[in-house]
Structure 1
Amino acid sequence: MDITRFHAAFFEESREGLDAMESGLLSLESGAGAADGETINVIFRAAHSIKGGAATFGFTSVTDLTHLLETLLDEARAGRRVLDPAAIGALLASVDVLRSLLAACEHGSAIDAAALAAARAGLDALLAGEAPAASAAAGTDAGAPAPVQGDWRIAFAPAPSMFMTGNDPLRILRELASHGELGVECIDERLPAFSEMDPFEAYLAWNLTLPGSVPREAIDEAFAWVADECTLGIEAGTLAPAPVVEAAPLPLAPAAAAAPVQAAAAADPVAAVSRRSGDTDNSIRVAVSKVDALINLVGELVITQAMLRQRSEHLDPVANEALMSGLVQLERNTRDLQESVMGVRMLPVDFAFSRFPRMVRDIAARLGKKVQLRTHGEATELDKGVIEKIVDPLVHLVRNAIDHGLELPEERRAAGKDETGTLSLSAAHQGANIVIEIGDDGRGLSRERILRKAAERGIPMPDNPTDAQVWDLVFAPGFSTADTLTDLSGRGVGMDVVRKNIAALGGQVEIRSRAGHGTTVVIRLPLTMAIVDGMSVAVGGEVFIVPLSMVIESLLPSPADVRTIAGEARVLRVREDYLPLVDLAGQYGLPASRAEGDEAPQRIAVVVEADGRRLALEVDELLGQQQVVVKNLESNYKRIAGVSGATILGDGRVALIVDAGGLAQSAPLPAAA
């Protein structure tokens, strides 16, 4: 059997296990999991699962390191060791090294031998330093298990279906052999003729011996993942002259089994596996490419359904009553199917939040600050594509909050604050958007300092700016208030990239701050990028889609409200403001659809906001609002200025989606008016 086909599942599950280990260790360090031994059990089980899988696939470097982790965690589980900050630090460092080892095994790259040696040395030092005390404690503890007299005798008969659950008996034998000299007797009574052999069925069984010095817990752990998939007998005592098979009969049939329940599981493995599947297997792993293909097909179905609806508008509803009723039902079912399929790509925002506890811990330690991280709304769901692209902006904002926002402990005490600063991450739904807030209770933004730095760098600003306009200056390219250059800040690269990345997702970002009380960065994002609510507009005989999330209002401007500056660029007066006026027909090279002179129909201005700037788009007609399926134009054709994507309308025509953010970048500043 080619076991390499299982590599992808192993690496994915191992990374999830490392995340669980890291989360548990951080919980123990903060004191949240100190009183609950289950946290240590979760960490131990994750390490044990990774070790077992690595041993199966022959990744010895991973197996050896996780064996040391298991030993340390097992002592903590048994109460013979307290996981102090030094031990947790060594364990966290080992988790980082395990991540790099898994990446090296996955991609066939070289292993970082120095990092691996350092991690092993750290764990060995902890184990060596605590070993004498642990032994003494064990000797005085009446409850500690003593070595058995003689050898362990183990009768192990896998269920025929064990291979189908992803377990390998040979991995278990290798793990037992790592604890001491293993005596092995193979029982092949069930082995059929070669022509009748099923490669997916387990036929062999074993009688095994291990030295009595091996702890019973180590043997139990080796079989922990297959307890319901085998018949198992474990006995201890002095070996009799008779063979182990006679002293501890191997249960190969229900009548010979010492444990009737286990024998039933072995006798009817299909029923046992079905029962377990019904109890625990409530999810499956599906490749993202398959989900994306399904979403594309549903998008095509939505377009076809819209086309049928449009064509049916000209039919006589009385003569075609059955057909019209069927089309209404099709529309309802299509909408439900679309929502269900889109839900497949939705992930809890905890997918992004879960990586920050470790990062906050490390940055705070490096800067000598005390930081408490609080998260809210982790179960709020967001499209997988959006989550993956929002991680980098969130990383920068969290680092900024710790580096610039939160004060040192002595500064906080002098200001009458708790010396431990609070950093909060929250997510919540608001209509068709999700709002993510990153807040701190630090020093807040300094209005005077920002204005001074902006003036030094020649960044334009309005007269008597409001606080919101001042905070908006930090998004200017190259802007930084840091006085010294460090590995965390001072290069003037970051906040402008944050805004661009969020704008590329169809989102917006704003800052709220109060001196001495802290700063909050608010990010608003669409739930998904695959389907958007849009306003259909007619321009030069073509139809365009303006994302509804960017539309503020639409109006009929009078000629007196339109001004021309520099002999070419036009601005529109909207109440007390002047906004750049963009003629979409001219922008996209389309012929003007209006006649010249007094009989020219009055054009409509659609006011939109993007990248913190407002502008007016001049269109011929408003056609209505609708949900559209977004097609990536760049991957199917090429990037076009002022266009963020395309969609297919109900009549089969292609409509381009207006990139309001790109138009805002090229539009003249309102102050020019």
Structure 2
Amino acid sequence: MASIDLSRFHRTFFEESFEGLDVMEASLLALDPEQVDSETINGIFRAAHSIKGGAGTFGFEAIAGFTHLLETLLDEMRAGKRAITAPDIELLLRAVDALRGLLATARDGGAVDPGTVEPLRAELAQCLAGGGVVPQAAERDEVPASGWRIRFAPKPELFASGNDPLLILRELQQLGDATIVCDVDALPSFGELDPESCHLAWTIELRGEISRAAVADVFAWVEDDCDLSIAALTPTPAQPQSGSKVESIVASAPRAEPRGDSASIRVATAKIDALINLVGELVITQAMLQQLASHLDPVHNEALLQGLSQLDRNTRVLQEAVMSTRMLPVDAVFSRFPRVVHDLAGKLGKQVRLQLVGEGTELDKSVIEKISDPLTHLVRNSLDHGLESPDERAAAGKDGCGTVTLKASHQGGHIVIEVADDGRGLSRGKLLAKASEKGIACNEQMSDAEVWQLIFAPGFSTAAQVTDVSGRGVGMDVVKKNIQALGGSVELASREGAGTRVTIRLPLTLAILDGMSVAVGDDIYILPLSAVVESLQPQPEQIRRVAGEGTVVRVRNEYVPLLPVKDWFRVPGASRPPHESILVLVEADGHKLALQVDELVGQQQVVIKSLEANYKRVAGISGATILGDGRVALILDIAEIVRLATRALAA
């Protein structure tokens, strides 16, 4: 018999193991030594148990050996043999970090560095050697006199995970006297029987001096693939048999809402991207057909037009459904911050409360991946220079524990993420003084909003000294550029002594753009709607020629540089005077620019195609799309055009 190549399962093992570590870390951070929740400890144990089992199966001995120590310590904690202290939690968190490193090394095919693992292994062994006393009350609760009544109902897809209910039942029989009754009510007729699906369920009465933890261990590998209940076999006098309480075993990770028989599957991102691209092509083809159909006689072609209308509706629904496959909850980013805040607060000697709001808000996976670093910088800034020390807060009449809030919400076609703290806030006077020192243009007449924007200037910082953590303002220009590169914007509001709030507004996806179509000669260009301030047809007296600064347009007492798009892209044909054209005011990096175009075509959602991947990099162009008539329309990179035009005027 040929041996099975287990390497093809490695990717799934590593993905699930890293997810398990995230669960362990989150649960440890939520653990309160004063009020230990047994289910939280059970969840941490099960995650470690799964990683150890998988590592042993695939031959990752270093991971299995290290996790065995961790699992043993957790088993003593959940059995009540060891009191859980704050130092224990810190040790377990460091063990999670070490295990994450071991997994990454095994995944990448590297060699384990004993110097990074052995000291922690020794600490775990020393901790285990300390022992402990079993509280009698916990022991009585854990080992009932009679045994347990177990209801085990596997989901149909149980076999697909490689598990066999028969082996589980045999293992239960090893624990004590087991009476097993099979439930065949869900068994279909022979003709409808699917040999790869499980249709049976079992009720087991397990008698003997057996702990509930021992029973739960038997089902550790299948708890996500079954409906399971474990209840004391002999009810207490306070609980008559007719209404006996059922204690459920829950998964170690936060579980999604029940999905019936449709299990989730892992799909490579490349496959989803290819599907999205094909749907984009379908949308473009449908738009072309719609454009052609607009010239048909509606009387003689009624059936065809009705069919095209139905195609349009179905195409839009399909596009939304496919785009949703790339949508992930923002918790994928938020979940890392409890650990960041925990470690940094300890390093700074501050007391910090982290509030997460709207973690279920969804946005595109590509946006999530790119927003992580800016958010990390903002959170670290809030802790380092936003929040005061406990003594400073007490002197100011505040709670000694500061609060950092991460909030996400949908607003229209965008997601808004806020990072707020209730710390010392920004000092208007300090910002103006630092700006003057750096040679940045500023004055006392500037509004608060304009003063706060100074913090985004390159290299700007009000920190009294450079630290290895952060300085409020250090790198904020990079934060802003990264967010703008995603088509987003960032705003800052603050009140001295009351805190600071940074608001980030992002598109939900980078594959579709809300744009304004404009005509320049025979060409169509797309302007990102998020960068458009307004459009107008100016009067001749609004146009001015300024020596050394080119042409400007006066809009409500503000002079804005004017840039003809025809000249910028060298579109052939005669140019119209500005007062016979349309001006579209756009804004980026705090600077406005009036783009001169021939006419406004309309607003529409466009499918973005990479120009660089299909042609080459073009200055001032961020991508392209295909219009309904088959023509290619270029999507303008407003930030780059504003930056280049401003630099040219300054020269």
Give the TM-score range, shorter chain: 0.7 to 0.9
Counterpart of 1:591 (choices 572, 587, 591) is 572
Report if the CA contact (8 A) 1:349-1:427 is conserved. yes
For 1:472, the equivalent position in structure 2 comes to 453
Q: Given the alignment of the two structures, is residue 40 of structure 1 paired with residue 41 of structure 2, yes or no?
A: yes
Structure-2 separation of matches of 1:431 and 1:504: 20
How has the CA–CA distance of structure 1 residues 657 and 142 changed in structure 2, closer, same or farther, with 3 Å as cutoff?
closer
CA offsets per residue over residues 487-508 of structure 1, 9 Å max, x none? Answer: 1125964100100010011100
How has the CA–CA distance of structure 1 residues 104 and 163 changed in structure 2, closer, same or farther, with 3 Å as cutoff?
farther
Counterpart of 1:225 (choices 221, 225, 231) is 221
For 2:16, the equivalent position in structure 1 comes to 13
Report if the CA contact (8 A) 1:376-1:427 is conserved. yes
How has the CA–CA distance of structure 1 residues 588 and 327 changed in structure 2, closer, same or farther, with 3 Å as cutoff?
same
Structure-2 separation of matches of 1:609 and 1:618: 14
Tell me which amino acid in the other structure corresponds to 1:637: Y
Q: Given the alignment of the two structures, is residue 166 of structure 1 paired with residue 162 of structure 2, yes or no?
A: yes
For 1:518, the equivalent position in structure 2 comes to 499
Q: Given the alignment of the two structures, is residue 460 of structure 1 paired with residue 463 of structure 2, yes or no?
A: no
How has the CA–CA distance of structure 1 residues 12 and 168 changed in structure 2, closer, same or farther, with 3 Å as cutoff?
farther
Counterpart of 1:557 (choices 517, 535, 538) is 538
For 1:75, the equivalent position in structure 2 comes to 76
How has the CA–CA distance of structure 1 residues 54 and 22 changed in structure 2, closer, same or farther, with 3 Å as cutoff?
same
Q: Given the alignment of the two structures, is residue 607 of structure 1 paired with residue 585 of structure 2, yes or no?
A: yes
For 2:296, the equivalent position in structure 1 comes to 315
In the superposition, the TM-score normalised over structure 1's length comes to: 0.79
Report if the CA contact (8 A) 1:537-1:623 is conserved. yes
Structure-2 separation of matches of 1:526 and 1:24: 32
Q: Given the alignment of the two structures, is residue 27 of structure 1 paired with residue 30 of structure 2, yes or no?
A: yes
Tell me which amino acid in the other structure corresponds to 1:315: L
Query: How big is the shift at 1:145?
Result: 7.1
Structure-1 separation of matches of 2:625 and 2:142: 70
Structure-1 separation of matches of 2:324 and 2:641: 32
Counterpart of 2:481 (choices 482, 485, 500) is 500
For 2:231, the equivalent position in structure 1 comes to none
Report if the CA contact (8 A) 2:357-2:406 is conserved. yes
Counterpart mapping for 1:514-663 below 5 A: 514-567=495-548, 569-594=550-575, 602-663=580-641
- Give the number of equivalent residue pairs: 575
Q: Given the alignment of the two structures, is residue 368 of structure 1 paired with residue 349 of structure 2, yes or no?
A: yes
Flag structure 2 segments of 5+ consecutive residues without an equivalent: 145-156, 173-195, 198-209, 227-257
Structure-1 separation of matches of 2:332 and 2:474: 26
Counterpart of 1:441 (choices 400, 417, 422) is 422
Query: How big is the shift at 1:126?
Result: 1.6
In the superposition, the TM-score normalised over structure 2's length comes to: 0.82
Tell me which amino acid in the other structure corresponds to 1:581: L
Structure-2 separation of matches of 1:566 and 1:126: 78
For 2:109, the equivalent position in structure 1 comes to 108
How has the CA–CA distance of structure 1 residues 278 and 470 changed in structure 2, closer, same or farther, with 3 Å as cutoff?
closer
Q: Given the alignment of the two structures, is residue 432 of structure 1 paired with residue 431 of structure 2, yes or no?
A: no
Structure-2 separation of matches of 1:548 and 1:461: 30
How has the CA–CA distance of structure 1 residues 101 and 577 changed in structure 2, closer, same or farther, with 3 Å as cutoff?
same
Tell me which amino acid in the other structure corresponds to 1:332: R
Report if the CA contact (8 A) 1:580-1:669 is conserved. no
Structure-2 separation of matches of 1:229 and 1:344: 23
SS at match of 2:118: helix
CA offsets per residue over residues 324-376 of structure 1, 9 Å max, x none? Answer: 11000000000110111111111111111000000001111111111000011
How has the CA–CA distance of structure 1 residues 24 and 643 changed in structure 2, closer, same or farther, with 3 Å as cutoff?
same
Structure-1 separation of matches of 2:138 and 2:647: 81
Query: How big is the shift at 1:593?
Result: 4.0
Flag structure 1 segments of 5+ consecutive residues without an equivalent: 147-160, 177-199, 202-213, 231-276
How has the CA–CA distance of structure 1 residues 14 and 80 changed in structure 2, closer, same or farther, with 3 Å as cutoff?
same
For 1:450, the equivalent position in structure 2 comes to 431
How has the CA–CA distance of structure 1 residues 471 and 78 changed in structure 2, closer, same or farther, with 3 Å as cutoff?
same
Query: How big is the shift at 1:225?
Result: 2.0
Percent identity of equivalent pairs: 59
Report if the CA contact (8 A) 1:593-1:620 is conserved. no
How has the CA–CA distance of structure 1 residues 328 and 430 changed in structure 2, closer, same or farther, with 3 Å as cutoff?
same
How has the CA–CA distance of structure 1 residues 562 and 346 changed in structure 2, closer, same or farther, with 3 Å as cutoff?
same
Query: How big is the shift at 1:144?
Result: 7.8
Q: Given the alignment of the two structures, is residue 118 of structure 1 paired with residue 119 of structure 2, yes or no?
A: yes
How has the CA–CA distance of structure 1 residues 418 and 280 changed in structure 2, closer, same or farther, with 3 Å as cutoff?
farther
How has the CA–CA distance of structure 1 residues 313 and 57 changed in structure 2, closer, same or farther, with 3 Å as cutoff?
same
Structure-1 separation of matches of 2:33 and 2:417: 25
Query: How big is the shift at 1:220?
Result: 6.4
How has the CA–CA distance of structure 1 residues 314 and 145 changed in structure 2, closer, same or farther, with 3 Å as cutoff?
closer
Tell me which amino acid in the other structure corresponds to 1:79: G
Query: How big is the shift at 1:134?
Result: 2.8
Structure-1 separation of matches of 2:471 and 2:419: 20
Query: How big is the shift at 1:422?
Result: 0.2
For 1:95, the equivalent position in structure 2 comes to 96
CA offsets per residue over residues 221-274 of structure 1, 9 Å max, x none? Answer: 2563259999xxxxxxxxxxxxxxxxxxxxxxxxxxxxxxxxxxxxxxxxxxxx
SS at match of 2:31: helix
Q: Given the alignment of the two structures, is residue 411 of structure 1 paired with residue 407 of structure 2, yes or no?
A: no
Structure-2 separation of matches of 1:565 and 1:357: 54
SS at match of 1:667: helix
SS at match of 1:225: coil
Larger Rg: 1
Tell me which amino acid in the other structure corresponds to 1:313: S
Query: How big is the shift at 1:123?
Result: 1.4
CA offsets per residue over residues 28-52 of structure 1, 9 Å max, x none? Answer: 0487xx4532111111111111111
Query: How big is the shift at 1:12?
Result: 0.6
Q: Given the alignment of the two structures, is residue 485 of structure 1 paired with residue 466 of structure 2, yes or no?
A: yes
Structure-1 separation of matches of 2:325 and 2:295: 36
CA offsets per residue over residues 505-560 of structure 1, 9 Å max, x none? Answer: 11000100000000000000111111111110011321100011221110011232
CA offsets per residue over residues 36-83 of structure 1, 9 Å max, x none? Answer: 321111111111111111111011111111111111111121122222
CA offsets per residue over residues 369-398 of structure 1, 9 Å max, x none? Answer: 110000111111111111111011000000
Tell me which amino acid in the other structure corresponds to 2:272: V
CA offsets per residue over residues 445-483 of structure 1, 9 Å max, x none? Answer: 011111111111111235611111110011001111112
Structure-2 separation of matches of 1:370 and 1:278: 41
CA offsets per residue over residues 80-130 of structure 1, 9 Å max, x none? Answer: 22221101001100111111111100010122322211221221222122x
Query: How big is the shift at 1:9?
Result: 0.7
Structure-1 separation of matches of 2:574 and 2:595: 15
How has the CA–CA distance of structure 1 residues 314 and 482 changed in structure 2, closer, same or farther, with 3 Å as cutoff?
same
Structure-2 separation of matches of 1:222 and 1:120: 27
Structure-2 separation of matches of 1:54 and 1:655: 52
Structure-1 separation of matches of 2:589 and 2:128: 55
Report if the CA contact (8 A) 1:634-1:645 is conserved. yes
Structure-2 separation of matches of 1:53 and 1:573: 69
How has the CA–CA distance of structure 1 residues 499 and 595 changed in structure 2, closer, same or farther, with 3 Å as cutoff?
closer
Structure-2 separation of matches of 1:317 and 1:71: 76
Structure-2 separation of matches of 1:631 and 1:144: 61
